[in-house]
Amino acid sequence: MGTSVVFMGVSGCGKSSLSAAVAADTGLALIEGDDFHSPSSREKMRAGVPLTDADRADWLAALGEQLRARPEGVLLTCSSLKRAYRDQLRAASPGLRFVFLDIDRAEAQRRVASRAAHFFSATLVDNQFATLESPVGEDGVLRVDARAPVDDLQRQVSTWLAQEDLP
């Protein structure tokens, strides 16, 4: 079994940028979790309507299938805001690790507002912070400062992944 990692955090934290850098360094395949949202969920987010657990159910199931289909290891971007979501993904991929890109509300808001071609409305950032259940303290989680340069974060993550004694 290979190493699978979810890059998680609120919108605007840099999941896509960091996971792409780690994929380039490790050679692991990368799955963009946003690609698996239903058209109706995308429309809700575009309109500034927060997703419910019911909206996320099929999305999380699809991401779990993606993890299960790649026992050799894969990198996945997924907000994974609640412990229950992370546990669902862990059930699909035993030994799954998470990189939590920790960011403050103001910086996340600034980043999301600056994205021109993304379906996620900047009005949803506050909801993401209200929903977030911090993974700090859970097994197999690395917290990184999302404001650090991507190259620094990539080295930090790659070093962490190379450690053999992780749960």
| Mean pLDDT (10-residue bins), the chain, 167 residues | 90 92 94 89 79 89 96 94 96 96 91 65 78 95 97 96 66
pLDDT of residue 98: 98
**Is residue 93 one of the residues assigned to a domain?**
yes
pLDDT of residue 160: 94
Under 8 Å CB-to-CB from 158, ≥6 apart: which residues?
22, 25, 26
**Tokens 């620094």 found at:** 152
pTM reported for the whole predicted model: 0.89
**Is residue 11 one of the residues assigned to a domain?**
yes
Query: How far from 25 is each of 36, 70, 134, CA to CA, in Å?
Result: 25, 18, 27
CATH number at residue 123: 3.40.50.300
pLDDT of residue 167: 46
pLDDT of residue 37: 85
**Is residue 167 one of the residues assigned to a domain?**
no
pLDDT of residue 111: 82
CA distance 79 to 132: 9
Which structural domain range is residue 35 located in? Answer: 5-162
The domain total for the chain is 1
pLDDT of residue 163: 84
